[in-house]
A and B are shown apart, each in its own frame.
Chain A
Amino acid sequence: MRGAELTAKTLKELNVDVIFGIPGLSNMTLYDALVEYVKNGEMRLILMRHEQGAAHAADGYARALGKPGVCTATSGPGALNLVTGLATAYWDNSPVIAITGQVPRTSIGKMSFQEADIPGVVQNIVKFVIQIRNVNDIPIWLSNAFYIATEGRPGPVVVDIPRDIFNEKVMNGDTRFFRGDVRGFRRFPTSINSIQIKKAVEILINAEKPLILVGAGAVTSMAADEIVTLADMLIAPIVSTLLGKSAVPNDYPLYIGMMGYYGRAEANIAFLESDAVLVIGARLSDRTITSYSDLANSKKKFIIVNIDPTDVERLPINVDVALIGDAKIILRKLIDALMCIGIKFERSNWIRRIYEFRDYYSQFYYVDEDSVGLKPWRVLKTIRGVLPRDAIVTTGVGQHQMWCGVFWEALEPRTFITSGGMGTMGFGLPAAIGAKVAQPNRVVMDLDGDGSFLMTVNNLSTAVDEDIPIIVAIFDNRTLGLVRQVQDLFFGGRIISVDFGSTIDYIKIAEGLGALGFDVQTYEDLTVAIKRSIREDTPSVIRIPIKRDELSLPTLPPGGSLREMILHDPRKSS
Chain B
Amino acid sequence: MIQERVVRLAIYYTDAGCIERVVAAFRKLLIDVNWIWGRRVDSHYEIYLGVNDHPNLKLALLNLSKTVGVEFVELLIDAKVEKYTYFNGELQKIGEKNPGNEEINRGSKRFIVYIPIYTRVVGYRWGEKYGENI
**Which stretch of A40-48, A179-187, A283-291, A495-503 is in the interface?**
A179-187
A314 adjacent to B15 (CB under 8 Å): no
- At the interface, yes or no: B107 with Cβ under 8 Å from chain A? no
In the complex with contacts A120-B20, A123-B21, A128-B68, A184-B127 CB distance below 8 A: no
Residues of B117-132 whose CB lies within 8 A of A: 124-129
The 0/1 profile, CB within 8 Å of B marked 1, for residues 305-320 of chain A is 0001110011000000
Residues of B contacting A185 in the complex (Cβ-Cβ under 8 angstroms): 68-69, 126
A186 adjacent to B125 (CB under 8 Å): yes
Interface of A is mostly: loop
Name the one of B59, B65, B68, B129 contacting A182, with C-beta atoms under 8 angstroms: B68
In the complex with contacts A184-B69, A188-B126, A314-B62, A123-B12 CB distance below 8 A: no
Q: Nearest B residue to A312 by beta-carbon distance?
A: B127
A322, chain B: closest CB distance, angstroms: 11
Report how far A133 CA is from B70 CA in the complex, Å.
20
In the complex with contacts A184-B69, A314-B62, A308-B127 CB distance below 8 A: yes
- At the interface, yes or no: B66 with Cβ under 8 Å from chain A? yes
Residues of A255-298 whose CB lies within 8 A of B: none
B127 adjacent to A188 (CB under 8 Å): yes
- At the interface, yes or no: B40 with Cβ under 8 Å from chain A? no
- At the interface, yes or no: B24 with Cβ under 8 Å from chain A? yes
A164, chain B: closest CB distance, angstroms: 17
In the complex with contacts A124-B24, A183-B12, A184-B68, A119-B17 CB distance below 8 A: yes
Report how far A128 CA is from B67 CA in the complex, Å.
8
Report how far A184 CA is from B12 CA in the complex, Å.
6
The 0/1 profile, CB within 8 Å of A marked 1, for residues 28-40 of chain B is 1000000000000
Residues of B contacting A184 in the complex (Cβ-Cβ under 8 angstroms): 11-12, 44, 68-71
B15 adjacent to A310 (CB under 8 Å): no
The 0/1 profile, CB within 8 Å of A marked 1, for residues 93-110 of chain B is 000000000000000000
Report how far A220 CA is from B59 CA in the complex, Å.
24
In the complex with contacts A133-B15, A310-B62, A127-B68 CB distance below 8 A: yes
- At the interface, yes or no: B88 with Cβ under 8 Å from chain A? no
Residues of B contacting A314 in the complex (Cβ-Cβ under 8 angstroms): 58-59, 62
Residues of B contacting A131 in the complex (Cβ-Cβ under 8 angstroms): 15
Report how far A187 CA is from B128 CA in the complex, Å.
11
Name the one of A119, A128, A186 contacting B126, with C-beta atoms under 8 angstroms: A186
Q: Give the size of the chain A interface in residues (CB under 8 angstroms).
A: 26
Report how far A154 CA is from B124 CA in the complex, Å.
20
Residues of B contacting A127 in the complex (Cβ-Cβ under 8 angstroms): 68
B86, chain A: closest CB distance, angstroms: 32
A-B pairs under 8 A by CB, number: 63
A324 adjacent to B15 (CB under 8 Å): no
Q: Nearest A residue to B25 by beta-carbon distance?
A: A124
- At the interface, yes or no: A189 with Cβ under 8 Å from chain B? yes
Residues of B contacting A313 in the complex (Cβ-Cβ under 8 angstroms): 58, 62, 129
In the complex with contacts A124-B28, A183-B12, A183-B43, A308-B66 CB distance below 8 A: yes
In the complex with contacts A133-B15, A324-B127, A123-B20 CB distance below 8 A: yes
Interface of B is mostly: mixed
Residues of B contacting A219 in the complex (Cβ-Cβ under 8 angstroms): none
A566, chain B: closest CB distance, angstroms: 31
A406, chain B: closest CB distance, angstroms: 31
Name the one of A123, A124, A309 contacting B127, with C-beta atoms under 8 angstroms: A309
B24 adjacent to A123 (CB under 8 Å): yes
Report how far A187 CA is from B14 CA in the complex, Å.
20
In the complex with contacts A120-B20, A310-B63, A148-B68 CB distance below 8 A: yes
A189 adjacent to B128 (CB under 8 Å): yes
- At the interface, yes or no: A230 with Cβ under 8 Å from chain B? no
Report how far A309 CA is from B65 CA in the complex, Å.
11
Report how far A50 CA is from B100 CA in the complex, Å.
58
Q: Nearest A residue to B27 by beta-carbon distance?
A: A124
Report how far A119 CA is from B69 CA in the complex, Å.
15
- At the interface, yes or no: A65 with Cβ under 8 Å from chain B? no
Q: Nearest A residue to B55 by beta-carbon distance?
A: A316
- At the interface, yes or no: A130 with Cβ under 8 Å from chain B? yes
Report how far A127 CA is from B67 CA in the complex, Å.
8
B126 adjacent to A123 (CB under 8 Å): no
Residues of A374-394 whose CB lies within 8 A of B: none
Residues of A contacting B71 in the complex (Cβ-Cβ under 8 angstroms): 183-184
A117, chain B: closest CB distance, angstroms: 9
Report how far A128 CA is from B66 CA in the complex, Å.
11
B65 adjacent to A130 (CB under 8 Å): no
A310 adjacent to B127 (CB under 8 Å): yes
Q: Nearest A residue to B59 by beta-carbon distance?
A: A314
Report how far A489 CA is from B43 CA in the complex, Å.
57
Residues of B64-85 whose CB lies within 8 A of A: 65-66, 68-71
A432, chain B: closest CB distance, angstroms: 31
B58 adjacent to A123 (CB under 8 Å): no
A59, chain B: closest CB distance, angstroms: 20
Q: Nearest B residue to A133 by beta-carbon distance?
A: B15
B17 adjacent to A120 (CB under 8 Å): yes
Report how far A185 CA is from B12 CA in the complex, Å.
10
Q: Nearest B residue to A187 by beta-carbon distance?
A: B126
B66, chain A: closest CB distance, angstroms: 6
A119 adjacent to B68 (CB under 8 Å): no
B134, chain A: closest CB distance, angstroms: 10
Residues of B contacting A133 in the complex (Cβ-Cβ under 8 angstroms): 15
A79, chain B: closest CB distance, angstroms: 15
Q: Nearest A residue to B58 by beta-carbon distance?
A: A314
Q: Nearest A residue to B70 by beta-carbon distance?
A: A184
A-B contact pairs, 6 of them (CB 8 A): A182-B68, A185-B68, A186-B126, A188-B127, A309-B127, A324-B127
Across chains A and B, which 9 residue pairs bring their CB atoms closest together, nearest first?
A309-B127, A184-B69, A186-B126, A184-B12, A128-B68, A310-B62, A183-B12, A188-B127, A185-B68
Q: A308-B127, A313-B58 are in contact. List 18 more A-B contacts (CB 8 A).
A: A120-B17, A124-B21, A124-B24, A127-B68, A128-B69, A148-B68, A184-B68, A184-B71, A188-B66, A188-B127, A189-B127, A309-B127, A310-B62, A310-B63, A310-B65, A310-B127, A313-B62, A314-B62
